[in-house]
Chain A
């Protein structure tokens, strides 16, 4: 594992920034996450070490995007390309965070980091150089949808970081696209800070190529009365981890998550979510879907933490899984940790295959088995895809998923 060797010998990056120094120092004491911890127990060891076997590349190749051309009605940003962003319009403004603001925020975040839970963030921030950190401050309303791209380059390890402050009463739609190139590793860490009454419709689409790996982490802090909606889709990665960490810092916030991961061949994709209610009247509605085919392995682990202070929390979590092959494997572990007594919390999990009765019904009406399966899958996918903002009108994700099935 080239990267780990470099961490221990302190040769990972030259001209380290202060943030890089702090994170590297934390990593040096224990460079790898504990393989016995719940968050890493099921991680495929050889795939994980393969992820860390690429050399760091700060010089990106120009993004050759397979996605639709930029339209005038959206703002498109690519992390790693030097920007000087200062968009001040009548109703809104989008500005870059100053170095001081960024440093202060990151240092505070890092002070709460746990070696296992935030290992991906520690690695990301150790590697991510100034150029690859995009920090934005957004306020106002009627903001055009924003698309933000991160991508890796073939045969290299790339780390990108995104930090966004949504100021009070701000309301945006934002789509993040993580593009994994052939034989590469991408580390994407995202930090959102939602101030009071702000609302974010967030989409994450991660799409790999053969032999691409992804460490994608998402850290959200929600202040009172903020609303966060996430639609996410991960597919075509040799190895991918999607870690979501949401904290309703004072409660009274709304969170809705609809995520999906699709694994084929011998891929392993895992989603870990941790939702922490740190105040009363919080709301969560979460659904996570997995589909595992061939010899692949899909993992979901979601924890909901409701401490004593979080009275009147209403949280529900559902994990729905489709297992399509006898060599594939699905692990799911929804969990509740509750101390407050006046709460409504529930979770559910199912693992099954395509519904045979429905398939039979369609076949008796002249639809071939292949088409009938596609129809069933499309309804399975549609619930999640329709929740991903920005993309749904312009990009045909459903087609992409079905045609590769």
Chain B
């Protein structure tokens, strides 16, 4: 069959990873390796208060006693944690009072990535926090946000300017000892974003962080903390890219979300880290712990993610549904191609009564990749009247890729309902034939079908993101579909 041959052609991306360039900039790096002194040094460089240093040291001690998890369906070469640089920052003046003082090379880099930061060009209606290796370079629209009482800055600035909030909330959703990578992050996190939405405020614009790894031998360990006070709401977007290196780079981030009574947080990610070449050389190891706590009554946390990059993805954005009638949502598209491996999913832990959660996960595996959905839905003894609905669909492209589904379901509450369904399919030849017979080219037809397959998730993304995600998927699959 004609299509069959094209299927074999698959697996090669026609257009190389366009974000794979390296910015040649003078950076300040500390020595490789990890020990207590390095942890102290990172804290000192950032001029942190004592409570944070203690937090880091405690986490480091715990990390030393922990073992790297091996339960996920991923295989990779052992990571040498002593061969990583834990702090790398572009050299610049200590404090930047305005964007004019940011190294133009950096601004140019973000411009190239499609994230213009300068006053004239900056995106309208989206405030951006740009993180380059270990530090935050610039945050746009700060004054406008401040008028509404919204705090949006790098976490290092928040430590200096709002230590009380950091001390109160840091590590309350993802404790330092939560897992191996969260402990590592807690010990060495360098920067990240901090968002605080005061009571009753609907954030006037979307907030966005853009993470860029530039250095090949340093890891990136950012930490994001978002707090939505009573009756507030915010939509937060996250994007990531990295240059092409033959070595693997470690990315171990932690994201903590806290929603109080009637608050709502929408967290969207388009992850496009460098995935390695078609032989599986290089690429980012993406080990991320993301968790939201619906503390308040009727609070809502919604995760939506489009995962297309990284050599390895290990990521389970979760919701702890504590408040009565709180709502957790997870919408995900994970695409793997070539030798990428993704083990991703979510955890919905229903603790409070009348809590609701929805999971929609779409996995697309092409090439020789492995794409697994792993999820947990748990109804605790007090979660009376709670409901969960999960749907996990996988699409297989080519006969070398693998799609796995591992949903764990646990209920201790008779007055609750859990529904889970999963299906696996491939692009149907009938549909392809139909589209082709109407003059639509083969690849375009595939791309239409993939985007139709993912529509439930794209509908949940903010508009600009949805368009970008759609484009990204067809780009990633170009020449690789059958």
**Beyond A324-B414, A335-B404, A346-B423, 16 additional pairs, beta carbon < 8 A:** A308-B399, A319-B409, A323-B411, A326-B412, A331-B409, A332-B410, A333-B408, A335-B406, A336-B405, A342-B399, A345-B423, A346-B421, A346-B424, A351-B409, A351-B411, A352-B417
For the complex, is B277 an interface residue (Cβ under 8 Å from A)? no
Alpha-carbon gap, A346 to B425, bound state (A): 9
Known: A341-B397, A346-B423. A351 touches B407 (CB 8 A): no
Residue A328 at the B interface, CB < 8 A?
A: yes
CB neighbors of A among B363-387 (8 A): 379, 381
**Contacting residue for A336 out of B403, B409, B415, CB 8 A:** B403
Q: Does A353 contact B (CB under 8 A)?
A: yes
Q: Which residues in B have some Cβ–Cβ distance to A below 8 Å?
A: 379, 381, 394, 396-426
Whether the Cβ atoms of B413 and A333 lie closer than 8 Å is no
How many positions in chain A have a CB within 8 Å of any CB in the partner chain?
35
Q: Residue of A at shortest CB range from B419? A: A350
Shortest distance in angstroms between B255's beta carbon and chain A's nearest beta carbon?
27
A2 located at the interface, meaning its Cβ lies under 8 Å from any Cβ of chain B in the complex: no
> Could you show 16 A-B contacts with beta carbons less than 8 Å apart?
A323-B416, A326-B413, A328-B412, A328-B414, A329-B411, A335-B406, A336-B394, A336-B403, A341-B398, A342-B426, A343-B426, A347-B420, A347-B421, A349-B409, A351-B411, A352-B416
Q: Is A337 an interface residue (CB 8 A)?
A: yes
Shortest CB-to-CB span from A112 to chain B, Å, is: 22
The reply to whether A323 and B413 contact each other, CB–CB distance below 8 Å, is yes
Indicate if the CB atoms of B411 and A341 lie closer than 8 Å: no
B420 x A340 contact (CB < 8 A):
no
Once the chains are docked, how many angstroms separate the CA of A335 from the CA of B376? Answer: 12
Residue A33 lies at the interface, judged by CB distance under 8 Å to chain B: no
Closest residue of chain B to A350 (Cβ to Cβ) is B419
Residue of A nearest to B374 (CB): A335
Which A residues are closer than 8 A to B by beta carbons? 308, 311, 319, 321, 323-353
Smallest Cβ-Cβ distance to B384: which chain A residue = A326
Shortest beta-carbon contacts, A-B, top 10: A341-B396, A346-B423, A349-B420, A345-B424, A351-B418, A348-B421, A323-B414, A339-B402, A351-B411, A336-B405
Q: Which of A330, A338, A349 contacts B407 (CB 8 A)?
A: A349
User: What is the chain B residue whose CB lies nearest that of A337?
Assistant: B404
Q: Which residues of B contact A337 (CB under 8 A)?
A: 402, 404
CA distance A342 to B415 in the complex (A): 39
User: Contacts A338-B424, A339-B402, A340-B399 known; A349 to B418 CB distance under 8 Å?
Assistant: yes
Across-interface contacts of A334 in B (CB, < 8 A)? 405, 407, 420, 422
Residues of B within 8 A of A328 (CB): 412, 414
In the complex, the answer to whether B418 meets A350 with C-beta atoms within 8 Å is yes
Q: Least Cβ distance of A284 to chain B in Å?
A: 13
**B400: which of A308, A347, A351 is its contact (CB, 8 Å)?**
A308
Q: Which of B381, B397, B408, B415 has the most CB of A within 10 A?
A: B408
Instruction: Report how far A346 CA is from B390 CA in the complex, Å.
Output: 13
Chain B hits for A342, CB < 8 A: 399, 426
A353-B422 in contact given A333-B406, A333-B409, A341-B397 (Cβ < 8 Å): no
CA distance in complex: A336, B397 (Å): 17
Query: Which single residue of chain B is at the shortest CB-CB distance from A333?
Result: B408
Are B414 and A335 closer than 8 Å at their CB atoms? no
Kindly report which residue of chain A lies nearest to residue B418, judged by CB atoms. A351
A341 to B398, CA, bound (A): 6
A189 to B406 Cα, complex, angstroms: 28
- CA gap between A344 and B424 in the complex, in Å: 6
Residue ID in chain A nearest B402 by CB atoms: A339
Query: Across the interface, which residues of B come within 8 angstroms of A339, CB to CB?
Result: 399-403
Q: Which of A308, A331, A353 contacts B410 (CB 8 A)?
A: A331
- A324-B414, A349-B409, A351-B411 given; A341·B399 CB < 8 A: yes
Which residue from chain B places its CB closest to the CB of A300 in the assembled complex? B409
Which residues from chain A contact B379 at a C-beta distance below 8 Å?
Answer: 351
Residue in chain A with minimal CB distance to B397: A341
What distance in Å separates the Cβ of A209 from its nearest Cβ neighbour in chain B? 27
Residues of B within 8 A of A332 (CB): 409-410
Looking at the assembled complex, report how far the CB atom of B394 sits from the nearest CB atom of chain A, in whole angstroms. 7
Complex Cα distance, B404 from A308, in Å, reads 13
Complex Cα distance A35/B277, Å? 39
Name the CB-closest residue of B to A332.
B409
Chain B residues lying within 8 Å of A321, measured Cβ to Cβ, are 411
Chain B residues whose CB sits within 8 angstroms of the CB of A349 once the complex forms:
407, 409, 418-421
Residues of B close to A326: CB separation below 8 A: 381, 412-415
Separation in Å of the B379 CB from the closest CB of chain A? 8
Q: Check A351–B403 contact: CB distance below 8 A.
A: no
Select one of B394, B409, B419, B421 contacting A338, CB under 8 A.
Answer: B394
Q: Which residues of A contact B405 (CB under 8 A)?
A: 334-336, 347
| Cα-based distance from A319 to B417 in the complex (angstroms) | 13
Q: How far is the CA of A337 from the CA of B415 in the complex (A)?
A: 32
A347 to B406, CA, bound (A): 11
Q: Chain B nearest CB: distance from A352 CB in Å?
A: 5
Nearest residue (CB) in A for B396 is A341
Question: What is the CB-to-nearest-CB distance from B398 to chain A, in angstroms, rounded to a whole number?
Answer: 6
A367 CA to B413 CA in the complex, in Å?
A: 27
**Bound Cα distance from A344 to B422, whole angstroms:** 11
Residues of chain A contacted by B423 (CB below 8 angstroms): 344-347
Residue of A nearest to B409 (CB): A332
User: How long is the Cα–Cα vector from A338 to B402 in the complex, in angstroms?
Assistant: 5
Measured CB to CB, the closest approach of chain A to B357, in angstroms, equals 13
